Amino acid sequence: MGSVSNNGEANGNSFDVAVALKAADPESVSSLASEIAALGSGSVEHDEARLKLLKKARSLVQALETPRETMIKHLWAQPTLSSALSIGVESGLFTLMVQKRGPSTVEELAESLKASPLLLARLLRHIAAMGYLKEVGEDKYEPNNFTKSLTIPIIGDGYPCILGSLVPAASSLTGYFLKNGYEPPSDPKAGPLQVYCNTEMNYFEYVQANPPWGKYFNHHMGGYRQGRPSWMDDGFFPVQERLIDGADTSSPESALLVDIGGSIGHDLDEFRRKYPDAPGRLVLQDLQRVLDQIVELDARIERVAYDFHTEQPVKGARAYYMHSVLHDWTDEVCGSILAQVTAAMKPGYSKLLINENVIPGTDADWQATALDLVMMTLFSSKERTDADWRRLLGKAGLKIVNIWGKGEGVESLIECELA
């Protein structure tokens, strides 16, 4: 590779390249190290303590890295790492390593996989150099907890799916915005994904049309939701007080909770397990092709094939619920979806519960901001701020009673009633 000028004058600034060769924030290193030492002296069994320590540790790494090192990490190390991990998942490499129950040599792995030992050596060397595999000798490796986890479909399958569908479209964003005057996409049929892949299909249709991405994507969503606080947990949303108390128990036909676009029923099944004595019907609604994917679901949960752009068949439920539905759609489409819900709600009784990110005005969590750009790329939509939600729901004839949250990138529960 060639070299360039040692300063930034050609780009219209006066910075010398030396600024990129020193720690990015040396003044913060001492205080961050002290905070990490104090936080690290306690237990990290509880997620709150672990996340505080993790946030400080990330800040310390960023302060110690030089801008040049960060650039190389972003542009060389991380993209190639993701590709190497995807290859390891698709080829069965990590499953093979776990099955061996101990260190494996490159030669052993290559023979079992019928792969080139030269290729495997290079891939495994980089994965280990990035800290995601144990190097126990020359060309000899052992999986750590991360690479072991890649053998779990809801963790590993996201790599080939996202690298094959999201990443190419995200890589085209620079050209997309140059061509479109740096305006965010607003047409779900002509967003970055559709332009790059030359399709009018939305993302869900696109991955289903390119198997096994559809299956992989469902697994990825399952992994995304693992280990995150649920609004049904104690100390999050007061389920008994705000939902169960006051529910109509006069008729067996009364619906307590209608999960709109609820996929294969994970949320309703969780609710049934945590509140087994709650009165009223639990109704799962999604497209028939989604409901057909259900393998096991409690018989007390009703399955109703439903397109949320059409009239809501369950009238006057205690609560209608949508988890990660509206973020897939532009405000215009969301207005259509919400109109079907509000038309079915009973004034003074029914609630709409929306389980989604609410991005704060400051100190946004990286998981929510990352997902915001993912939604822009794949759906021409977005993760919404507090102001976004109030504007969208107000236009739909709804008022926000409260936004219940836990912070740290955890999806909030927006409790709404008819205005």
Place of tokens 């973020």: 327
Tell me which residue of 23, 21, 20 sits closest to 61, measured CA to CA.
23
Grouping H, G, I as helix, E, B as strand and the rest as coil, residue 256 is: strand
Q: Which 3 state secondary structure label does DSSP give 126? A: helix
Give the whole-angstrom CA distance, residue 318 versus residue 110: 58
The pair of structure tokens assigned to 71 is 């650039």
Spatial separation of the C-alpha atoms in residues 11 and 299, rounded to whole Å:
65
Element (H, E) at 141: strand 140-142
Strand ordering across the sheet containing 104-105: 104-105, 140-142, 134-137
User: Which helix (DSSP H) or strand (DSSP E) does residue 118 occupy?
Assistant: helix 117-129
Q: Where in 146-299 does DSSP place strands (E)?
A: 255-260, 281-286
Residues 6+ apart with CB under 8 A from 336: 309
Q: Please say if 220 is a catalytic residue.
A: no
Point out which residues pair with 418 in neighbouring strands.
398
Put residue 265 in one of left, alpha, beta given phi > 0 → left and psi -120 to 50 → alpha.
left
d(CA 183, CA 176): 10
Q: What angle do CA 74, 75, 81 make, to 5 degrees?
A: 75
Quote the CA–CA distance of 354 and 416 in Å, as a whole number. 8
Among candidate residues 126, 219, 323, 327, the one labeled active-site is 327
Q: Are 131 and 123 spatial neighbours (Cβ–Cβ below 8 Å)?
A: no
329 SS3 class: coil
Tell me which residues are annotated as active site: 327
